[in-house]
Amino acid sequence: MDMLPKVDALLVVRTDFSDQERWQAVRNTLGDIDKDGWAKEFEVVEDPAYQGLTAQQILALLPDGYQDPILVIADKVTVDSQEMPFLVIELEVTWEMRVIPSEIPGIHANLSIGNMDFGEFAESADADGVFRGFHD
């Protein structure tokens, strides 16, 4: 199995290839600008060689020197769910949670600048384990 590419962007790895039309809808959620006007900088890996791999298998394929604090996986849950929650893995202590697409840029930005830690987001996940943003 090939290592994931070395990139200067947040990696999003697709592991489900069951429905190309649905995948395009998921892919479109990544867009170019988030709801707060920040540019999204993703590198989407859509290689069928990664089909069905687990999070642990994907983590083992990260290239040396990967700089981002998180890795994002688009798996069967992402593709099949109406909300398209990606699996987001924090790499320092290998925490993971599901995150709706619109919240990924905020998590990424805050972790990248050390403004917040992953636990703060995880504590605000809903009862089903999906982070949908902070609630007042």
| Cα distances (angstroms) measured from residue 89 to each of 18, 20, 56, 64, 119 | 23, 24, 10, 17, 12
Alpha carbons 57 and 133: distance in angstroms, whole number: 28
The CATH architecture assigned to 11-129 reads 3-Layer(aba) Sandwich (3.40)
**51-81: string of b/e by CB count within 10 Å (b at 16+)?**
eebebeebbebbeeebebbbbbbbbebbbee
> Residue 91, Cα to own-chain centre: how many angstroms?
12
Check residue 51 and give its pLDDT: 96
Check residue 32 and give its pLDDT: 64
For the chain of 136 residues, list the mean pLDDT of each consecutive stretch of 10. 87 96 92 60 91 96 92 97 97 93 91 92 95 88
**Domain edges within the chain:** 11-129
Check residue 136 and give its pLDDT: 67
> pTM of the entire structure?
0.92
